[in-house]
Amino acid sequence: MGRKIVILLGNPGAGKGTQSQAIMRKLDIPQISTGDMLRDAVARQTSFGREAKERMDAGELVNDDIVNGIVSERTTRDDCIKGFILDGYPRNLQQAENLSEKLMQSDDRLFVIEISAETSGLVDRLVGRLMCPGCGGIYNIYSRVPKKDNVCDRCGHELIHRSDDREDLIQDRFRTYHGETYPLVDFYQKRGVYHKVDGMRPIADVTKDILGIVDGIKARSR
C-alpha cells in the first residue's frame, strides 16, 4: 500500500497548522514544512542547503529548483515511509508539477484538502495567534489561551508571536495566497484529488472531516 501524502491549502489563519498537528498524531506521519526543511538542509550543509544559503546570504529568493530538491531529500527519510503532510509546499504550479512528476511513487495516494475560511473571519485569528517554537503548538489570546501566560501547555517553551501576524501585513498575505497558491485548486481539481472542508467550524469537527477524506470516507456535504 502506498504512502498517504496530505497537502493542506487555505488562507493564512485558516487552521492549516492546527490541523496538521492533529492529523499527524492520528495518522502517525510527519508534518514537514518548507521552512524547517530549508533550515535543516542549510544546517546539514547538503548540496541544496549550501546553494540555498548562498542565495539567502546574497539577499536573493530561494528558487523552485532548490526548494524541490530539498523536499525530495526530506521525503526519502525513514519517517516518511508511510506518508507525510506537506506544509507550505507546493506553493505554486511549478512546484506542484514537480511533486506529481518526480516525488510521488506510483502507488502513493494524494489528498489535497482546502480548509475554507473567509478572510473577514481570519484577522483576529492571526493577530491573536501565539506559536510554540518547541513542539509547534498553536494558541490564541482570544480563543485558545495557554494555562500560563506565554508558556506552552505541552512542552513549556515560551510562546512567540509571528512578526508577520500584524494587521497591516495580513491583507498582503491574503493577496499573495490568492495570486500564487490558489491556482493549485484548479490544478488538483482536474486531477480528482481535491477536497474542501469548512474551516470556520470547531477544530475537532474539521479534523474529523479531514481524517474521513484520508480514510476514504465521504466528508459531510456543505
Q: Which of the residues are catalytic? A: 16, 91, 129, 162, 173
What is the four-CA torsion angle of 185, 67, 206, 154, rounded to 10 degrees?
-170
Cα torsion through 218, 198, 5, 36, rounded to 10: -160
Residue type, 68: N
Q: What angle do CA 93, 29, 146 make, to 5 degrees?
A: 95
Cα separation, 81 vs 78, whole angstroms: 5
Residue 51 CB contacts under 8 Å (≥ 6 apart), including other chains: 66
Rounded to whole angstroms, the Cα distance separating 14 from 123 reads: 10
Cell of 107: 502507488
> CA dist 57 to 42, 62, 88, Å?
12, 11, 22
Q: Return the C-alpha cell found at 79.
A: 519517517
How crowded is the C-beta side of 53, counted as CA atoms within 13 Å?
A: 12
